[in-house]
Chain A
Amino acid sequence: MNFKEIAKRGETGPLTEASDFLMKRVSANVLKLEKKYQISWDGKTLINLDDEMADRCWQAGRELLLSSGIFSMNSKRIIELDAEEIEEALRFAPAELAMGQGKDAVRAYHRQVEDARKPFVFSGPFNADASEEHFVKLNEAFAQERLIDSLLFPGYLKKLDGQMIRPTSGLASRAAMLYGQWSREAVRRAGRPGMPITGHAVMALNEIACTNEQWGLRSTDPRAMVLISELQVDDVTMTRLAYYLAYGCPIYMAFTPLIGGYGGGPAGTAIVAVASFMAAVVLGGEVVHIGPQHIKFKQQTNQHSLFLASLANQAVARNSRIIATTSHTTSGRPGSEQYAREFSALALSAVTSGSNVTGPRPAEPLGFNNVSPLMARLFAEVSHAAAGMKRGEAAAIVAKLYQTYKDKIDLEQAPKGQAFEELYDLQTLRPTAEHQALYDRLKEELTGLGVPL
Chain B
Amino acid sequence: MAAETNKDAIFAAMREAIESYDSDAAAETAKRAVDSGIDLLEAVEKGFAGPIRELGEAFDRMEIFLPQLMLGSDALKAGMAVLEEAITAGGGKIQSKGVVVVGTVEGDIHDIGKTVVAALLQANGYTVHDLGVEIPASRFIEAAESRKADIIAMSALLSTTMLYQRDVIELLTNKALRDKYFTLVGGAPVTQAWADEIGADGYARGAYEAVQLLDGKKEAWAE
**A-to-B contact residues, CB < 8 Å:** 18-19, 23, 27, 31, 73-74, 127, 129, 156, 158, 164-168, 172, 202-204, 228-229, 234, 258, 260-265, 268, 295-296, 298, 364, 366-367, 411-412
Contacts and interface: CB of A to CB of B under 8 A. Distances in A.
Contacts of B161: 167
A202 B66 contact: no
B162 to A, nearest CB: 9
5 contacts: A31-B67, A167-B161, A264-B66, A264-B67, A364-B191
Given A204-B107, A298-B206, A27 B67 contact: yes
A240 B160 CA distance: 17
Nearest to B69: A260
Contact of A261 (B66, B158, B160, B191): B66
A319 B171 CA distance: 54
Nearest to B107: A167
Contacts of B86: none
B112 interface: yes
Contacts of B159: 127, 129, 156, 158, 202
A234 B116 contact: no
Contacts of A268: 65
B177 to A, nearest CB: 23
A295 B111 CA distance: 13
Contacts, number: 68
Contact of A204 (B110, B160, B163, B188): B160
B188 A295 contact: no
Contact of B60 (A23, A27, A168, A296): A296
Nearest to A230: B112
Contacts of A258: 112
A296 B62 contact: yes
Contacts of A23: 67, 70-71
A296 to B, nearest CB: 6
B66 A73 contact: no
Interface in B182-221: 188, 191, 193, 205-206
B160 to A, nearest CB: 4
Interface residues of B, number: 23
Given A164-B163, A172-B160, A228 B110 contact: yes
A309 to B, nearest CB: 17
B87 interface: no
Contacts of A228: 109-110
A385 B151 CA distance: 52
Contacts of A298: 188, 205-206
Given A18-B111, A202-B158, A296-B60, A260 B163 contact: no
Lowest 8 A-B CB distances belong to which pairs?
Answer: A167-B160, A27-B67, A264-B65, A261-B66, A260-B65, A156-B159, A234-B109, A164-B163
Contacts of B116: 295
Nearest to B110: A228
A262 B67 contact: yes
A265 B66 CA distance: 10
B82 to A, nearest CB: 22
Contacts of B206: 296, 298
Given A27-B66, A228-B110, A296-B206, 5 more contacts: A74-B109, A165-B163, A229-B112, A264-B67, A412-B205
Contacts of A166: 160, 163
Contacts of A411: 205
Q: Which of A167, A263, A264, A412 has the most CB atoms of chain B within a 10 A radius of its CB?
A: A167
A172 B66 CA distance: 35
B67 A265 contact: no
A293 to B, nearest CB: 9
B134 to A, nearest CB: 10
Nearest to A166: B163
Contacts of B65: 260-261, 263-265, 268, 295
Nearest to A235: B109
Nearest to A167: B160
Contacts of A27: 66-67
Interface string B133-159: 000000000000000000000000011
A164 B158 CA distance: 13
Contacts of B109: 73-74, 228, 234
A20 B179 CA distance: 38
A129 B159 CA distance: 8
A228 B111 CA distance: 9
A64 to B, nearest CB: 14
A71 to B, nearest CB: 11
A13 to B, nearest CB: 18
Given A228-B110, A265-B62, A203 B67 contact: no
A42 to B, nearest CB: 15
A380 to B, nearest CB: 26
A36 B71 CA distance: 23
A383 to B, nearest CB: 25
Contacts of A265: 62, 65
Interface string B22-58: 0000000000000000000000000000000000000
A175 to B, nearest CB: 10
A284 B159 CA distance: 26
A168 B66 contact: no
B120 to A, nearest CB: 11
